[in-house]
């Protein structure tokens, strides 16, 4: 049995209201919020980057599962905002965690699905008995050019998952699939500070084409239908896209609502769908089946079918006791001025 042994999440406490950003650029806040379904977003502190965000999530993951750092035999970090072009985030996080020297480390980059690619890689390593346990992390800091639409949604957060095999698996991986193409709806060349995007092109030929295709392939592969699942999770670039994807595929609002954290924290890129999964796992009962599809510009989607076991209760109990559930982290917030944020982080 291969699956999730533990997980940890991290959302910085700082928030910027969408209305504040809109008013700063003399935009109609009702139009912006109505179009994106995002009310506020999380942003990093001046001393936070993808490394510190990844570490915070990973440290909680180890503590939650009572995992000795030396048990981690592979470390993957997916991000669009690795602080170094050359020098891996994964080894820095591994050093901070104290996992030793005998582990496979790699940084992953596939836009917003880099973290879920790590899930597939670790599941393969664990199921082939190459490793007993590994960790994948999705972590990003907000990236958006001032006065660009990305400024309303690009956020900061991290999620870490320990993947392995054995009786302590809290969430079984039942099936996975991937769907990929060369569809550059979002990109950033090396040395360029802010990403570019193709506007409305990111919808039908990019997000929906890949998410729906991966989902249909996963349903066919598992010979299942949407009504067979208790929860569904989709990548959340905004509040509208995952709702539309769920609707097209036949999932209900009730199946989706537990994962919709985008309205409260925005889109933390590589952490988005992983945080949606964590939000579901915080409330799921043993035996719950979860349908999940990520998305990354470039473009591609990873799909997963998960099923919780009795051990999920112990994971949930620890997270509740430590006030480490995702809802706790989302509610622990301090609002900052958008203008002050620009001054401190964009040097303007």
**Interval 81-133: pLDDT, tens:** 999 989 999 999 999 999 999 999 999 999 999 999 999 999 999 999 999 99
Q: What is the CATH number of domain 2-170+312-345?
A: 3.40.47.10
The pLDDT > 90 percentage for the chain reads: 87
**Domains 2-170+312-345 and 171-308 in one fold:** yes
- Which is it for the CA torsion 146, 147, 148, 154, positive or negative? positive
In this structure, CATH architecture of domain 171-308? 3-Layer(aba) Sandwich (3.40)
Give residue limits of the domains in the chain.
Answer: 2-170+312-345, 171-308
Tell which residue, 129, 106, 10, has the closest CA to residue 61.
Answer: 10
User: What is the average per-residue pLDDT within 244-267?
Assistant: 98
| Angle, CA 317 vertex, CA 312 and CA 321 arms, to 5° | 155
Q: What is the pTM of this model?
A: 0.96
User: What is the average per-residue pLDDT within 334-341?
Assistant: 94
Catalytic machinery residues: 80, 112, 235
Q: Is the pLDDT of residue 348 over 80?
A: no
Measured between its terminal Cα atoms, the distance across the chain in Å is: 52
pLDDT the model gives residue 195: 80
Where residue 266 falls among pLDDT bands split at 50, 70, 90? very high
pLDDT the model gives residue 346: 67
The pLDDT > 70 percentage for the chain reads: 99
User: What is the average per-residue pLDDT within 251-263?
Assistant: 98
State how far the Cα of 297 lies from the Cα of 278, in Å rounded to an integer: 22
Q: Is the pLDDT of residue 32 over 90?
A: yes
Question: What's 285's DSSP letter?
Answer: P
Where residue 253 falls among pLDDT bands split at 50, 70, 90? very high
């Amino acid at each position: 049995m291969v699956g999730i042994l533990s997980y940890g999440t991290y959302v910085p406490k700082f928030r910027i209201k969408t209305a504040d950003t809109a008013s700063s650029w003399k935009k109609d806040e009702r139009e912006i919020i109505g179009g994106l379904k995002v009310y506020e977003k999380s942003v990093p502190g001046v001393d936070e980057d993808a490394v510190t965000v990844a570490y915070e999530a990973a440290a909680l993951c180890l503590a939650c599962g009572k995992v000795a750092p030396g048990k981690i035999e592979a470390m993957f970090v997916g991000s669009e905002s690795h602080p170094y072009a050359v020098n891996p985030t994964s080894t820095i996080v591994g050093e901070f965690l104290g996992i030793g020297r005998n582990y496979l480390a790699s940084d992953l980059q596939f836009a917003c699905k880099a973290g879920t690619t790590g899930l597939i890689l670790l599941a393969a390593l664990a199921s082939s008995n190459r490793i007993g346990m590994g960790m994948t992390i999705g972590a990003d800091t907000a990236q958006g050019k001032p006065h660009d639409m990305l400024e309303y949604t690009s956020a900061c957060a991290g999620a870490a998952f320990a993947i392995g095999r054995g009786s302590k698996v809290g969430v079984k991986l039942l099936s996975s699939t991937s769907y990929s193409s060369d569809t550059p709806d979002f990109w950033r060349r090396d040395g360029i500070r802010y990403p570019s995007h193709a506007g409305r092109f990111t919808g039908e030929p990019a997000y929906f084409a890949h998410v729906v295709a991966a989902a249909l392939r996963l349903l066919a592969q598992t010979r299942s239908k949407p009504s067979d699942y208790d929860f569904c999770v989709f990548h959340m670039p905004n509040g509208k896209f995952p709702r539309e994807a769920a609707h097209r595929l036949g999932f209900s609002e009730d199946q989706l609502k537990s994962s919709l954290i985008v309205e409260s924290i925005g889109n933390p890129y590589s952490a988005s769908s992983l945080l949606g999964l964590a939000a579901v796992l915080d409330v799921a009962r043993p035996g719950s089946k979860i349908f999940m599809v990520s998305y990354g510009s470039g473009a591609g989607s990873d799909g997963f079918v998960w099923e919780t076991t009795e051990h999920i209760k112990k994971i949930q109990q620890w997270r509740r006791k430590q006030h480490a559930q995702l809802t706790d982290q989302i509610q622990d917030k301090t609002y900052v001025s958008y203008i002050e944020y620009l001054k401190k982080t964009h040097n303007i």
